[in-house]
Structure 1
């Protein structure tokens, strides 16, 4: 039985990836630029997204890029949690099973959203890009979260939505469930040794935590 669960955040807890895609393209279209192609956006999911960032910088400049990302972060708290996430988090909390978050995004941005979503009381550890040398698909974020929770990686279950994220967790020694979203559902996970994919998260307690 697993002793802790570590969630990815963007696209796993809330669908921030779809939201960012829409915010970017709304702003680009309004200013007369071609929208970002969905395949290019998808290729940036799960990691530091430098190609996307550089593309936006070339189009609109640093100040506008920062404004676009600020709009994204300030409106993302209005998004709903993904199906089954709250139920699973509450069930884990009731069983005193620690919960962590490992995200390639800024730790401060994740913390702010966790607070606005009223999840802070459930989360023991949040690790973001400031905490590691390399973000996903490197294993660093998961290793940092596991260390902070004081568990062996084999005792922790990761819940992810992307190939980069799942690869990071697997390389850190965790078992992984992947639940895709509109941005990652086209990805091919067949080369990754997942324990499950696209399952009802409300069944996780019964299947992996003895009830």
Structure 2
């Protein structure tokens, strides 16, 4: 079926905010002499729930120093605030990943509507889109604030297709995460996987097409493949 719209994920697909998200927790874990692996973290990719990094830290510490674990429990709010501040600091210098701007410009020039479907909050996503100067390229932005369930549930993609006024099967999803790919498939959308810096380190479920990046990928190429 021809492609009549593009639906973009945000985190890890347009901007590498996934590396700061993981690194900010890894730094805190290191302060307590433990590690947070990419594979433990992978369940969070593309989702906004499913893994409690603070609780996991406590569980690891209980195995070696129960008293320290209790201190970490008591300091939860302080640790979460420190982690968020560090994540924001690491995220601030990030720019659009290769090929994103060019694909958006090509879609705009050809009148092909684009949407964002993200498990992050509206404040986070809209803030980035405005800061990067790409908000006008999107006909709609669907976030965790708009649906009952985020990825891997299909709700975000179904809502984006509904707002675009198109059948999901005609909306090509661009995703970097396991949860995002599962959500797109559950929604009935064709999906292209573009593994990110973090998601590229974990197994991804099958996609209709996998690309190393969006660099040098044109809309014409995608339309030809999915015609």
| TM-score bin, normalised by smaller chain | 0.7 to 0.9
Alignment of 1:40-189 (within 5 A): 40-55=40-55, 58=58, 59=72, 60-73=75-88, 75-189=90-204
Q: Which runs of 5+ in 2 are unaligned?
A: 59-71
CA distance in 2, matches of 1:67, 1:74: 11
* Contact kept? 1:77, 1:117, Cα under 8 Å: no
CA distance in 1, matches of 2:211, 2:162: 28
Tell me the secondary structure at the aligned position of residue 80 of structure 1: coil
Give the direction of change, closer, same or farther, for the CA distance of 1:56–1:69 in structure 2 (3 Å limit). farther
Tell me the secondary structure at the aligned position of residue 197 of structure 2: coil
CA distance in 2, matches of 1:203, 1:20: 27
CA distance in 1, matches of 2:159, 2:200: 28
Deviation, 1:118, is 1.0
Tell me the secondary structure at the aligned position of residue 201 of structure 2: coil
Counting matched residue pairs gives: 208
Residue matched to 2:218: 204
* Contact kept? 1:8, 1:161, Cα under 8 Å: yes
CA distance in 2, matches of 1:72, 1:56: 18
Q: CA RMSD in A?
A: 2.3
* Contact kept? 1:44, 1:52, Cα under 8 Å: no
CA distance in 2, matches of 1:126, 1:165: 16
Q: Which runs of 5+ in 1 are unaligned?
A: none
CA distance in 1, matches of 2:146, 2:54: 23
* Contact kept? 2:29, 2:57, Cα under 8 Å: no
Tell me the secondary structure at the aligned position of residue 101 of structure 1: strand
Deviation, 1:171, is 0.9
C-alpha distance after superposition, 1:43-87 (max 9, x if no partner) = 321212342345278544134314422442465242021121111
Structure-2-length-normalised TM-score: 0.82
Larger Cα Rg: Structure 1 or Structure 2?
2
CA distance in 2, matches of 1:26, 1:176: 34
Greater shift, 146-155 or 63-72, is seen at 63-72
Give the direction of change, closer, same or farther, for the CA distance of 1:81–1:150 in structure 2 (3 Å limit). same
* Contact kept? 1:77, 1:116, Cα under 8 Å: no
Tell me the secondary structure at the aligned position of residue 144 of structure 1: helix
CA distance in 2, matches of 1:99, 1:74: 29
* Contact kept? 1:138, 1:171, Cα under 8 Å: yes
Structure-1-length-normalised TM-score: 0.87
